[in-house]
């Protein structure tokens, strides 16, 4: 009976450190998956912010007083867009293109259209992870239109 106990201990002694090796092999994969989930989630959050910023810009330009010039409406829309995206450190220069048309027509009314195009492929807001570009878009483009009141 004592010999059986010794053999069991030897069997366990041969496997000492196996858990550490397995852990060391699995942790990098788990970290890549975790970082991928965080990066993709941040991109989705930023995508929602761009959509909201376009709507805010169009709304800000559309609710101006009568007699406001198209240039003033465009400036109000740009300011609203930049304020909405300020927490991300993004403005209408660099990686994002802001196209504002304050004299757009929608039927018989005058409308304001705001189109935002962020080049996520060239300038992601999170460090690039190899392979993540396969599932994230190159450009995040949103357009909002509001009728001038």
Using an 8 Å Cβ cutoff, are 88 and 116 in contact? no
> For the chain, what percent of residues have pLDDT higher than 90?
49
Mean pLDDT of 41-57: 95
Is pLDDT larger for residue 90 or for residue 13?
90
**Is the pLDDT reported for residue 1 higher than 80?**
no
Residue 121: which pLDDT band, with cuts at 50, 70 and 90?
Answer: confident
Which stretches of the chain are DSSP H helices? Answer: 2-14, 18-62, 70-84
Rounded CA-CA distance 77/100 in Å is 7
Domain ranges of the chain: 2-147
**Is the pLDDT reported for residue 3 higher than 60?**
no
Burial 66-87 (b: 16+ CB within 10 A, else e): eeeebeebbbbbbebbbebbee
């Amino acid at each position: 009976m004592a010999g059986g106990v010794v053999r069991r201990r030897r069997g366990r002694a041969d496997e000492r450190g196996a858990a550490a090796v397995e852990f060391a092999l699995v942790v990098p994969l788990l970290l890549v998956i975790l970082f991928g989930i965080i990066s993709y989630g941040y991109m989705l959050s930023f995508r929602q912010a761009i959509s909201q910023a376009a709507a805010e810009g169009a709304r800000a330009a559309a609710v101006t007083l009568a007699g406001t010039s198209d240039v003033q409406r465009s400036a109000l829309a740009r300011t609203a867009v930049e304020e909405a995206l300020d927490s991300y450190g993004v403005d209408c220069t660099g990686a994002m293109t802001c196209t504002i048309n304050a004299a757009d027509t929608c039927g018989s009314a005058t409308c304001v259209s705001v189109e935002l195009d962020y080049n996520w492929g060239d300038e992601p807001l999170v460090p690039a992870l190899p392979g993540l570009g396969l599932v994230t878009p190159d450009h995040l483009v949103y357009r909002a239109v509001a009728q001038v009141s």
